[in-house]
Structure 1
Amino acid sequence: MALPMTEDERALADSVAAFARRSAPIAQTRIQFDALSAGTGPDPVWDAVVRQGLHNMHLPEAVGGSECGLPALAVVVEQLGMAMFPGPYLPTVLASAVAATASNGADGLLVAFDGGATGALVAGNRLTARPAAGGWEVKGTSDPSLGLPGAERVLVRAALADTPGGDLWFWLDRAEFDGPGTTAKVTPCEALDPTRSVGRLELAGHPIPHDRALAGVDPARVDLIVTSLLGAEASGIAAWCVETAVDYVRTRHQFGRPVGSFQAVQHKAALMLVRSEIACAAVWDAARAADDASDQQRLVAAQAALTAAPAGVDQALDCISMLGGIGFTWEHDAHLYWRRAVAVASAVGTEDAWSTRLGEAALHTQRDFSFIDEDTLPQLRARVAAVLDDVLALPDDEIATEGWAPTRGGARRARLAAEGLAAPHYPLPYGQDAGAVEQAVIADEFTRRGLDQPNTGIAEWVLPTLITHGTVEQRDRFVSATLRGELIWCQLFSEPGAGSDLAGLSTKARRVDGGWVLTGQKVWNSQAREADWGVCLARTDADAPKHKGLTYFLIEMASPGVDVRPLQQATGVWEFNEVFLDEVFVPDDCVVAGPGDGWRLAVTTLSNERLKMGTAKFGHGAAATVRQLLDGGEYGATRDEVVRVLGRNTARELSVGAMNLKTVLHRLHGTEDATGSATSVQKVFHAIAQREGSDALIRLLGPLGLVGSPEQPYVQDYLGVPAVLIGGGTIEIQLNVIAQRVLGLPR
């Protein structure tokens, strides 16, 4: 998953990648390290950038730019980051993009940038401005800043000494740094990344006239631009590292076999892909927020800083370790990406500071992942609204069940099912055959009325299989009744001896007159106690290969020989069950498709999920749980520590939400990845994020962690984490899938 969403953005990315390869091959960059890191000498690469029009594509049309927007600029930066593009490009577009947000005073500066002037952004908190005759005087020494030595225009932020929280934004011309007695000086630093200059700005009471000041620069928008573009470069670095490491281990041999065939290597490569795609989603969400309200921009700016920037560093180090000794040599390019990744993360700022900022923002704001507005599909909206208004007038008489099972029946549920709104993504006559936009409009109308969309539990996976592969009689018998809440389902797939190896199951089915008799044991079956029916895989042909001898049965859970026994977990509660099948008769009309089709149908069942619209509901380590702890005030840590955990846990949820929405939009644009990598990545990261979030939560408790009753939500949150690490296939199995099916590593 890369930043481009549309075909135009993909064409732009391809064009920029080709330009980078042609104009700045890394072998050529290596020869110019000294000049690049000092910011000196003629720069033919920058001249090529200007001729290509990449320097001003984001600037307003009024000053000669193309006004393409932050998302397109981020696409360019990501591609140039992937190519280790040298010189002042990123520092310049950072400065010019921030300058373009000013409401007044930036025209002359933007004209210079449009004409090809190089730039740098100095936006730390070490410079102080005081009013003076004709303007201001500024003093102080800045933090090290990218691209400062050699920059022709420098955009600077200084704190107003007598105005708490106030800023002065102004710009400097390189000519001001020259000559005797100047009060402005640029001191070069030895750059970690040898492909760019780094320096400090020293101002000793330097005069800033009124016409050099910029007005209306919004701090939230500045943060958004900076973290989006630096994050985009980190995303490009992360993508290069995955590609480089995977290419190497695919062909490198050790112990007589490809290194990439070893499971430990495969898992590391798969986790690198997960990290890369999560970073990319975070940057994409930040860049698309350029026109959002400030509170939304604060959320996603911090998200990009916390997710994308550190990912580049971790990714580059993992790449070097995958390459082995060759990756740790000066001759290999991996260390250049590592150096740049560290430089980018350093320029973004500290993770503690950003987690605090995101935590404070998340106390009051949630990310808006909607991609529709109130005028989208007005006829559908009006039709759904009328039905839901009628539903609200009906009695709320659904019957609650225990555990995770959905509620039963009720007048509201029956009306929703009749109108195709219980599962609108299903085809007619069961649903509305709703695509992504239609589903979003329907969900919005539910939300407006405070109504929850119906949940059918395990049937979310079962019913699509019956609709696709079942007989007319099976569909008529089960689908509508389930949507009305009259039937609850469970899934009888897992077995004690098979675990994640679903095809290794041993439950047997033998042919008898009129049907089949099943014998075996299933385990980890949620909702089995409440279920009326279960879908069961059993082996009907012992001589066939293990994937081909399976059949998909529908079992009535009240049948003789079905014994459901609750399993008490480490949490102390019973959420799963084991199910014993002792000579259970299943008639022929409860076989779906035909004997031997079980594996194909099971894959269909496990892959069916209702389209996610960006929201990410974590069962463990959720930001909402951290907010609850903060509100209760019983934590053993300091408030600042809790807020930082809230920030980090929010970042994880925002990452999943961004990936969900990006997947939906790819589907709308017809640019969905054929490998299905997004689904596998989301499953892995969803589990890892909950583990890390819940672990961070429990470390805040102090003495409160001594209380282990089921009513204590925080310890219970942590004790329940194994359910997400194991359920639906362990993380390790998912990593195998990513490594072998997505990355193409050898088995």
Structure 2
Amino acid sequence: MSIGISDEHVELAASMRTWAGSLKGIDVARAVDAQPAAAFGEVWASVVEMGVATIGLPESVGGGGGTALDVAVALEACAHELVPGALLSTVVAMSVLAPVMETAPGLAEVLGSGASFGLALDPALAVVWDAPGATHLLLSDADDQWYVVPATAADVTGLLGLDLTRRYGSARVDLDAAGVVRVAGLSGDLVRRTAITFAAAEAAGVARWCLKTAVDHAKVREQFGKPIGSFQAIKHLCAEMLETAEAVTAAAWDVASAAFGDEEQWAFAVDVASVVAFDGAVSVAKSCIQVLGGIGFTYEHEAHFYLRRALTLRGLLGSADEAALSLTASAVAGTRRRVAVDLDGRDDAVREEIASLVDRVAAAGSDQLRAGLVDTGLLTPHWPAPYGLGADAVTQLVIDQELARARVERPDIVIAGWALPTILEHGTPEQRERLVRPSLLGELTWCQLFSEPGSGSDLASLRTRASRVEGGWRLSGQKVWTSVAQKADWGICLARTDADVPQHQGISYFLVDMRSAGIDVRPLREITGEALFNEVFLDDVFVPDDCLVAGEGDGWRLARTTLANERVAMATSRLDKSTERAVALASAGSGSSTGVGPGAGARAGAAVGMTVAERVRIGRAVALSTVCSLLGTRSTLRSLAGQGPGAESSVAKLLGVRNRQDGAELVVELYGDRLVTDDPDVRAAVWEMLNTRCLSIAGGTTQILRNIVGERILGLPR
């Protein structure tokens, strides 16, 4: 998905891509690939005519009056088609100059004149972005005083660099020349922050093109008689490209959304984008060439132009490690990314009623809290009445907000959250009456009897048999990896009722009373030392007819049930538990008992006992955790916009697993030699690290999920 989520942004992106594609930017760049002073004048004339560079300028000087997010959507689309020339540097210059244009004589006229800008982030002027052909340069002196310098007051030497769709140059300027404008109110920090904000949008466009190009190629390129996209190695590589591209897009969207707002929040978002966007775009561009194979290594193919753009953006805008260090410092100081979801008045119709419901539940006291949540439908508001409210996305968010205001926490219904939707959607009235409300009240608990020793991710190959008998069925077989089976009252069970039809068609869905005769639950001790999972042996277990859900053979369809109203939730501003712990250790200086060990020489400027490399890793963990939260927010906004689910939810699962596993492992590493002690905090961290290893296995392995992402989201062949 692209940066834009609203209908307006989706339309803007589509129209911009169409227009940008018509410019044939790469063909233009090829024609002048040996000319250091090429200015791409015809392309720039089209940019000016289209008004792309001035989308964010005030209407008073001929601009579009748009937001930074509007600009980012346009830049992403232009980068998708690699529009050559001074677009990025001009947008950055105009964005920082527009707020102060009334304080500098003549500046408003420059901005409204169709000017193109070269940009220098370094006062030495050794590298000036888009200097050849620019009408003006935005630059500073060694004292961080900024100037707008007309091209007539600059001596520019063109540089033919890595990015063949842009030109850079060195410059010598006369700051006393006529037409030079001294600009008050600018700083190098503001200009760099703005440059990163809009360059991240370009990185998203590059990543999106590379992903699409690789996937399109994998669908049609054949080897060994099959499209290469059917091979798991290619499928996984493309799925990983999607994960990275979505992370880049989320970071680019967020930093543009935060731009020119709260300083602390914008700075945090800039650091996240710096860590994620540029390395991510480079990674996706390299993987694109890998999928393309030999053709991607040719000069004739466009792929290397995108790799060149991504590498250049990363090189110009500083180290991701520096941004990670800054993120660690911000997180230690208590900063977290807070993304507000603007309901735009759509909550007015339900806010008062929901607030009243919540207040009534909260006033009933802790003993009656759960019952109150169940009775009002607030526990599962997205479920249909009488067990929920049939709440749409807006209403669900209002409920979240009002419960948070009243400090009411909803209890986790755990596996009942998977079992009950199937009963609501496909069960009989008697099944719903008997099981749903008691489960919501916590009187009944559930387990899931799906996986078997030979049927984990390949669930359709299960062997547990269900044989027809008078009044019901007899189930025989073995289930494994069954959480809390030793405590559960009921289990949802898939069993084979017909062995003579294709695998998926011969499975039925049963509700099994876990106290039935013939059930033997045997705990499985895990690597944590605990026994959450179990083996469950079913030895001729009787299940009455009224515990078959839907019809015989419907099990596979039911196992994939989702309610018409999906759960929509507010993303939290907190980082995941392990990353928060890593930040706490950074605040304390170190988790280890000594300041010696590998990398001790890199501790300069860091707290005692914490290496620079460790603080960089913490910052990278903060960035990844933040991106996982942003993916959830974007998915919520998509629901609010009435759109179908995007790739964010699938990617959030994959990135979320990596985030939790890497974060937990980082904390253990930070503790160093304290791992051998009896410290309760250390023991908890070790347990968390070991426990998170199940996340890439349970509920479908990461590898199987990447197959699913490749086929269902990217459309790669089976």
5 Å matches for 1:348-427? 348-363=317-332, 364-372=334-342, 377-378=347-348, 380-397=350-367, 411-427=368-384
Partner of 2:250: 281
For the Cα contact (< 8 Å) 1:694–1:717, is it kept in 2?
yes
Partner of 1:26: 26
Q: Residue 307 in 1 paired to residue 276 in 2? A: yes
Q: Residue 294 in 1 paired to residue 277 in 2? A: no
Q: 1:477 to 1:159 in 2, by over 3 A?
A: farther
Q: 1:244 to 1:510 in 2, by over 3 A?
A: same
Aligned counterpart for 2:652 among listed residues 659, 666, 682? 682
SS in 1 for 2:443: coil
Paired AA for residue 98 in structure 2? A
CA distance in 2, matches of 1:375, 1:482: 35
Paired AA for residue 589 in structure 1? D
**More deviation, 482-491/594-603:** 482-491
CA distance in 1, matches of 2:198, 2:251: 12
Q: Which runs of 5+ in 1 are unaligned?
A: 128-140, 161-166, 179-185, 398-410
Offset at residue 456 of structure 1 (A): 0.6
CA distance in 2, matches of 1:708, 1:83: 58
Partner of 1:98: 96
Residue-by-residue CA offset, 1:474-504 (whole Å, 9 max, x unaligned): 1111222222222221111111111111111
5 Å matches for 1:184-195? 186-195=156-165
Q: 1:642 to 1:448 in 2, by over 3 A?
A: farther
Q: 1:158 to 1:552 in 2, by over 3 A?
A: farther
Residue-by-residue CA offset, 1:283-319 (whole Å, 9 max, x unaligned): 1122122364222212211111211211110111111
For the Cα contact (< 8 Å) 1:561–1:584, is it kept in 2?
yes
Offset at residue 123 of structure 1 (A): 2.7
Q: 1:106 to 1:497 in 2, by over 3 A?
A: farther
When the two structures are superposed, what TM-score results if normalisation uses the length of structure 2? 0.91
Offset at residue 553 of structure 1 (A): 0.8
Residue-by-residue CA offset, 1:544-566 (whole Å, 9 max, x unaligned): 21111111111122222222222
**More deviation, 558-567/52-61:** 558-567
Partner of 2:226: 257
For the Cα contact (< 8 Å) 2:154–2:171, is it kept in 1?
no
For the Cα contact (< 8 Å) 1:33–1:194, is it kept in 2?
yes
Residue-by-residue CA offset, 1:264-301 (whole Å, 9 max, x unaligned): 11110111112112211111122122364222212211
Offset at residue 354 of structure 1 (A): 0.7
Q: 1:257 to 1:76 in 2, by over 3 A?
A: same
Partner of 2:401: 444
Q: Residue 624 in 1 paired to residue 580 in 2? A: yes
Offset at residue 221 of structure 1 (A): 5.8
CA distance in 1, matches of 2:85, 2:173: 25
Aligned counterpart for 2:203 among listed residues 234, 257, 280? 234
Q: Residue 270 in 1 paired to residue 254 in 2? A: no
CA distance in 1, matches of 2:534, 2:502: 29
Identical-residue share of aligned pairs (%): 40
Offset at residue 656 of structure 1 (A): 1.7
For the Cα contact (< 8 Å) 1:241–1:316, is it kept in 2?
yes
Q: 1:115 to 1:313 in 2, by over 3 A?
A: same
Q: How many residues align?
A: 700
Residue-by-residue CA offset, 1:313-368 (whole Å, 9 max, x unaligned): 01111111111122112222111111111001112210111111222222312222
Q: Residue 561 in 1 paired to residue 518 in 2? A: yes
CA distance in 2, matches of 1:148, 1:733: 49
Aligned counterpart for 1:174 among listed residues 151, 171, 176? 151
Partner of 1:332: 301
Q: Residue 4 in 1 paired to residue 4 in 2? A: yes
Q: Which runs of 5+ in 2 are unaligned?
A: 593-608
Residue-by-residue CA offset, 1:198-231 (whole Å, 9 max, x unaligned): 1344569x55999933344477764553223111
For the Cα contact (< 8 Å) 1:372–1:441, is it kept in 2?
no
SS in 1 for 2:306: helix
When the two structures are superposed, what TM-score results if normalisation uses the length of structure 1? 0.88
CA distance in 2, matches of 1:707, 1:715: 11
SS in 1 for 2:84: coil
Partner of 1:431: 388
Paired AA for residue 477 in structure 2? G
Partner of 1:248: 217
CA distance in 2, matches of 1:734, 1:425: 26
For the Cα contact (< 8 Å) 2:339–2:573, is it kept in 1?
no
For the Cα contact (< 8 Å) 1:274–1:685, is it kept in 2?
yes
For the Cα contact (< 8 Å) 1:459–1:488, is it kept in 2?
yes
Q: 1:546 to 1:731 in 2, by over 3 A?
A: same
For the Cα contact (< 8 Å) 1:508–1:519, is it kept in 2?
yes
Q: Residue 38 in 1 paired to residue 37 in 2? A: yes
Offset at residue 734 of structure 1 (A): 0.8
Paired AA for residue 89 in structure 2? P
Paired AA for residue 672 in structure 1? G
SS in 1 for 2:147: strand
Q: 1:520 to 1:3 in 2, by over 3 A?
A: same
RMSD: 2.7
Paired AA for residue 31 in structure 1? A
CA distance in 2, matches of 1:643, 1:142: 32
5 Å matches for 1:475-494? 475-494=432-451
**More deviation, 248-257/414-423:** 248-257
Q: Residue 464 in 1 paired to residue 441 in 2? A: no
Q: 1:736 to 1:459 in 2, by over 3 A?
A: same
Q: 1:607 to 1:442 in 2, by over 3 A?
A: closer
SS in 1 for 2:283: helix
Partner of 1:587: 544
For the Cα contact (< 8 Å) 1:225–1:287, is it kept in 2?
no
Q: Residue 51 in 1 paired to residue 49 in 2? A: yes
Partner of 1:402: none
5 Å matches for 1:518-557? 518-557=475-514
SS in 1 for 2:500: coil
Q: 1:475 to 1:656 in 2, by over 3 A?
A: same
Offset at residue 619 of structure 1 (A): 6.3
Partner of 1:146: 129
For the Cα contact (< 8 Å) 1:228–1:287, is it kept in 2?
yes
Q: Residue 635 in 1 paired to residue 594 in 2? A: no
**More deviation, 371-380/540-549:** 371-380
Q: Residue 745 in 1 paired to residue 716 in 2? A: yes
Offset at residue 118 of structure 1 (A): 0.7
For the Cα contact (< 8 Å) 2:149–2:180, is it kept in 1?
no
